[in-house]
Structure 1
């Protein structure tokens, strides 16, 4: 027969984690209701991430600049993701890795200058 008492600490941990998770989710909502901070108005309920109302005619035109900025953010975020591991091991990898990263950064810099000059970063 299997001794299930060895799993008791895991069960206690899961119960505590579930309780804390529920506390961190529902306690701020309850405090906001009680203190009056929960006061939705048209400005609070408006779209702030996508740039256009979510439930309109699907054939309506919308501004593409939001998506361009988002793509640029992802590109430069990936640059940072490649740069950190390289920076940690650059002395072990030698000159070829350093030259390769400088070429990579040069290409990204040329692309950034092109985007800047073409006006992709201007928000009117």
Structure 2
């Protein structure tokens, strides 16, 4: 039984080495500037291929995700109302909503919610 394991490990090792060598030998090594450029029509690009990403759009998307997660957390809190005390449930919900509102007012004060300047 021990000989069977050694033979299978040796066979797996040989197959791995053969596959690694064949993968290394089959790669093309010539790098062409035209092929690696974003435009392949024969002329140099006038502008960059990528436009800059709007930071304001990113901030609005992050705020949307935060409030989306808030809704996903508030809905199960409604289901736990019957199994917990009303005082602890109200305190937990209030603290959760106050933390989110403080964050929203901070973003508003920083000007992240104003789309145009």
User: TM-score, normalized by length of structure 1?
Assistant: 0.49
Larger radius of gyration: 2
Runs of 4+ residues deviating >3 angstroms: none
Q: Describe how 1:1-124 pairs up with structure 2 within 5 A.
A: 56-58=48-50, 61-94=52-85, 95-124=87-116
| CA deviation profile, 1:3-60 (whole Å, cap 9, x unmatched) | xxxxxxxxxxxxxxxxxxxxxxxxxxxxxxxxxxxxxxxxxxxxxxxxxxxxx435x5
- Looking at both structures, which has the greater relative contact order when contacts are Cα pairs under 8 Å and sequence separation is at least 6? 2
Aligned Cα root-mean-square deviation (Å) = 1.6
Gaps of 5+ in 1: 1-55
After TM superposition, give the deviation of residue 99 of structure 1 in Å.
0.8
Q: How many equivalent pairs are there?
A: 68
After TM superposition, give the deviation of residue 108 of structure 1 in Å.
0.5
User: TM-score, normalized by length of structure 2?
Assistant: 0.52
